[in-house]
A and B are shown apart, each in its own frame.
Chain A
Amino acid sequence: MRRNRDRSTKRFIVFVFVVASISLLFIPESITNNIKVTVASPLAPVQKLISHTSNFFKNGFKKLASLSTAADEKSELEKEVFLLKNKIVKQQDIINIFKKKLEIVSEYKKDIDDKEEPVVADIIGFDVSNFRKSIIVDVGKKQGVSVGDVVVFGNALVGRISAIGSSSGRVMLITDPASNVPSRFLNSRTQGMVQGTADGKCVMKYVPRQVKVDKPEKIISSGMGGIFPKSLYIGNVIEVKQKSASLFKDIKIIPRVDISKIENVLVIKRKKEENTPE
């Protein structure tokens, strides 16, 4: 009798756990993101320590393997070239805008820039899933970062803050399948939507079939929707396909920033507007 009661109690507990697990799926994302960062935040200092230590050893092994000081110079030069190339892309885009005599747009950009403040953040963790692409950074509410802030590396787009804790935050990368970035081609100015594919690359959607796309074409953010600022370098076209019945082209993009090769990013903090007295 008692054994049967124990068994039914255990079954009831299992049932409660299963129902609780399924009901978790229906909780709004804003609440679940808060739960995630609140639970994960206490581990952030440990993650930071492990990340720094592993990066230290990784860099040490790299240097040993190179067996030459030229490797240091090369990596420095590569960094410099990377930054300069990104700056060139941004400048090219600004020139294009001027060419089309869009002074109003450039004024708007200036206005936007005044409201932004960058914060350097270390990458302290990566997503545990093989099909999601996010990173954990060591800045949070304490540093004034909020959900939706844009994350860049050397003027190239990395992603945006999707959840924020007191001293750590989660960044949804542009390669995540749930990420959508309004974008355009640098030269042809045709607009589209860059989506992640979970394999470290992106696809550009909704580009009409009649648009001519060259393979090394660069893609930048268009600024549509107001979530991502305009003119940020996203990546380069590596493959263009056209299905016979499709209205749009299938364009594969390689992101400008390889997240596995960098250790820190820049979070563009939006300054809160001060209330002016009436």
Chain B
Amino acid sequence: MPWITIISVTVCISLIQTTLLHHISFLGIQPDLFIIFLVFHSLNANRERSFHASWVVGLTKDIFSEGPFGLNTVLFIIAGYIVSIIRGNIYGRHLATQISVTFIISIIYNLLYLCLLSMLITSTGLLSVTWKCPLIAIYNSIIVPPVFWLFSRFYFSFGFPSSKRRF
């Protein structure tokens, strides 16, 4: 998987996330396309490629977000690594698996992000929004079917090695 394709997809995701997704926000929550892309990539690529994608996606999220630079990069590497580990033991082609993995990874990522952020910026109001984590995970899971379908179509046309086999 060439770097240029990962970067192109990430840039597209960033543009959509920064400009369009706030229109479909619910209770101030919007779906996180970065996490969904990370799960998609980690389920379909080998560990090395998944690592590269996690790093690029995390770094891009850091660029388009306020706050400590590098936090998302580290957390995305961890999230990508977790998916790579469990990938061998699950049936990643099934929609239920994709939704479940996205849900679990979203919860883990958001909780870790919230904990680390509350330590880094010493804000007292942060932990009071922990209720957002499951809601974000549910929202991400809901949009998994169309987003995964779009990603698979895109990667199929660009010759993603495992997409031909899996999708």
| Partner-B contacts on A (CB < 8 A) | 10, 14, 17-18, 21-25, 27, 29, 32, 35-36, 39-40, 43, 46-47, 50-51, 54, 58, 124-134, 136, 162, 170, 172, 176-178, 195-200, 203, 205, 260
Distance between Cα atoms of A96 and B96 in the complex (Å): 62
Are B129 and A197 in contact (CB-based, < 8 A)? yes
Flag if A22 contacts B51 (CB, 8 Å). no
A129 to B61, CA, bound (A): 8
Q: In chain A, what residue has the closest Cβ to B75? A: A21
A18 and B81 CA atoms in complex are apart in Å by 12
Least Cβ–Cβ distance between B72 and chain A, in angstroms: 8
- Rounded to whole angstroms, the CA-CA distance of A199 and B133 in the bound complex is 12
With both beta carbons as reference points, the residue of chain B lying nearest to A205 in the complex is identified as B124
Given contacts A39-B63, A128-B64, A200-B28, contact A25 B74 (CB under 8 A): yes
Q: Please, could you name 18 A-B residue pairs with CB atoms under 8 Å apart, sorted by A?
A: A14-B48, A14-B51, A22-B70, A23-B70, A25-B74, A36-B62, A47-B15, A125-B64, A127-B66, A129-B113, A131-B110, A131-B113, A131-B126, A131-B129, A131-B132, A177-B125, A195-B124, A198-B132
A126 to B14, CA, bound (A): 10
Contact assessment for A128 and B61 in the assembled complex, using a CB-CB cutoff below 8 Å: yes
Look across to chain B and name the residue whose beta carbon is closest to the beta carbon of A52.
Answer: B19
With A and B bound together, what is the CA distance between A22 and B58 in angstroms?
12
Which size bracket describes the interface of B in this complex?
35 or more
The minimal Cβ–Cβ distance linking A117 to chain B, given in whole angstroms, is 25
Q: Please measure, in the bound complex, the distance between the C-alpha atom of A132 and the C-alpha atom of B20, giving whole angstroms.
A: 17
How far does the Cβ of B100 sit from chain A's closest Cβ, in whole Å? Answer: 20
Q: At the interface, is chain B mostly helix, strand, loop or mixed?
A: helix
Q: Collect the chain B residues with CB atoms within 8 Å of residue A136's CB.
A: 18
Report B119 CB to chain A, min CB distance, Å.
11
C-alpha gap A17/B3 in the complex (Å): 15
User: Looking across the interface, which residue of chain A has its beta carbon closest to that of B13?
Assistant: A128
- Binary flags per residue of B53-93, CB closer than 8 Å to A gives 1, else 0: 00100110111111111111110010000000000000000
Asked whether B11 is an interface residue with its Cβ less than 8 Å from the other chain, the reply is: yes
Give per-residue flags for B102-127: 1 if the beta carbon is below 8 A from chain A beta carbons, else 0: 00000000100110011001011110
Q: Roughly how many angstroms separate A236 CA and B78 CA in the complex, as a whole number?
A: 41
Majority DSSP secondary structure for residues of A touching B: mixed
CB distance from B82 to the nearest CB of A (A): 15
Q: Is the CB of B22 within 8 A of A126?
A: yes
Known contacts A21-B55, A22-B74: does B117 contact A177 (CB below 8 Å)? yes
| CB-based contact A162/B23 at 8 Å | no
1/0 per position for B1-31, CB-CB distance to A under 8 A?
0000000000100110111111101001110
Residues in chain A near residue B129, CB distance under 8 A: 131, 197-199
Cα distance A47–B63 in the bound complex, in angstroms: 14
Q: CB within 8 A of A36: which of B18, B23, B69?
A: B69
Question: Closest approach, in angstroms, between the C-beta of A35 and any C-beta of chain B?
Answer: 7
What is the minimal beta-carbon distance from A127 to any residue of chain B, in angstroms? 6
Q: Is B136 an interface residue (CB 8 A)?
A: yes
A79 → chain B closest CB, angstroms: 20
A261 to B19, CA, bound (A): 14
Contacting pair B66 A54 (CB below 8 A)? no
- Judged by a CB distance under 8 angstroms, whether B157 is at the interface is no
- Please, which residues of chain B bring their CB within 8 A of the CB of A129? 61, 65-67, 72, 113
Contact A130 B66 (CB under 8 A): no
Report yes or no: A54 in contact with B19, Cβ–Cβ below 8 A.
yes
A36-B63, A131-B126, A177-B125 given; 6 more Cβ-contact pairs under 8 Å: A35-B63, A125-B64, A130-B110, A178-B121, A197-B129, A203-B125
Q: Which of B23, B34, B74 contacts A21 (CB 8 A)?
A: B74
